[in-house]
Amino acid sequence: MSIDSLTDLWHELFGAQPDPPPLLVLVTGLVALAVVATRLPWRIGRNAVTIAHEGGHALVALLTGRRLRGIRLHSDTSGLTLSAGRPSGPGMVFTLLAGYVAPSLIGLAGAWLLGGNRITLLLWVAVALLLGMLVMIRNLFGVVSVLVTGGVVFAVSWYASPQVQAAFAYTGVWFLLLGGVRPVGELQSQRRRGQAPQSDADQLAWLTPLPGIFWVSVFGLVAVAALVVGAGLLAGPILADWGITTAIGGAG
C-alpha cells in the first residue's frame, strides 16, 4: 500500500465528517425507540444488546487478570461468559458488574465519537471489537450472530454512502443507549417472580454485603445517566439548529 493510500485511509478513519442533518438525528432516535419499545423488533435487536453485555463481562474479566474461557450467545437472547480465577474479590465483582452497564457505556462512547463527527472511526472500532470477541465465541449461534453483526457493520462502513453510514451509526448508538435501559427493568421483573436466582445482581449480592436490588439500582442509574448524557451529545446538531449551545463536548 502506497503512502498516499495510507494517508487517505488515515484521513478517512480519523477525519471528521460533516454535521448530520438535525432531522436525521431525530428520526434515527425515534426508530431506535420504536425498536426498543415494540415486542418483535426488540426480540431481534436484543441480540446486539446481549453481544455488548457479554463483551463487557469478557473485557473486564481480562482487564482484572481473570482467564477468559469463552462466550456463548443463545437464540433466546441470553448469554454466558466463562472466566477462571478467584471466585470472589474485586475482579469477580467488577466482571459481574460490567454486563448490564456495558451496552449503555458503549453507546455513550459511540455518542462521544458521533459528537465529534467520527462516523467512520466508530464503525471500524465496532468491527474491530466484534472480531476480537469472535475468537472467544464457543457456540454456533454465537459465531453466526457476531459474524452477521460484524459483516453488516463492515459492509456499511466500506460500501455505503456517507449519508447511509451516518443514519446507521446514529441508529445503532441510539439503540444501545435506549436498549441499555430496558434489560434492567426486565431483570427486576424476573427477580420479583423468582425467575432469575443466578442473575448478575444476585451473584453480586452473594459476593458483597449489598442486596440484589442495590445492584439492579446501580445498573439502572448507569443506564439512565448514559442515556441522558449520550442524548445530549447526539442532539448537538438539533440544538445548534435551534440556536442552543450545549456544554457537553464531543470527540474534538
Query: Is residue 18 very low, low, confident or very high in pLDDT (cuts 50, 70, 90)?
Result: confident
Check residue 237 and give its pLDDT: 67
Nearest to 186 by CA among 112, 106, 76, 80: 76
Q: Can you tell me whether residue 127 is helix, strand or coil? A: helix
Which pTM value belongs to this model?
A: 0.90
* CB neighbourhood size of 55 (10 A): 24
Predicted local confidence at residue 17, as pLDDT: 76
Residue 189 has pLDDT above 90, yes or no: yes
> Of 131, 149, 138, 128, whose CA–CA distance to 82 is shortest?
138
Pull the grid cell for residue 17: 465528517
Query: What percent of the chain stands above pLDDT 90?
Result: 81
Q: Band the pLDDT of 20: cuts 50, 70, 90.
A: confident
Rounded CA gap, 208 and 122, in Å?
A: 36
- The residues, any chain, with a CB within 8 Å of residue 177's CB and separated by 6 or more, are 32, 104, 107, 108, 111, 226, 227, 230, 231
Residue 16 has pLDDT above 90, yes or no: no
How does pLDDT run across 82-105, given as a tens digit for each residue? Answer: 999 999 999 999 999 999 999 999
85: region left, alpha or beta (phi > 0 left; psi from -120 to 50 alpha) = left
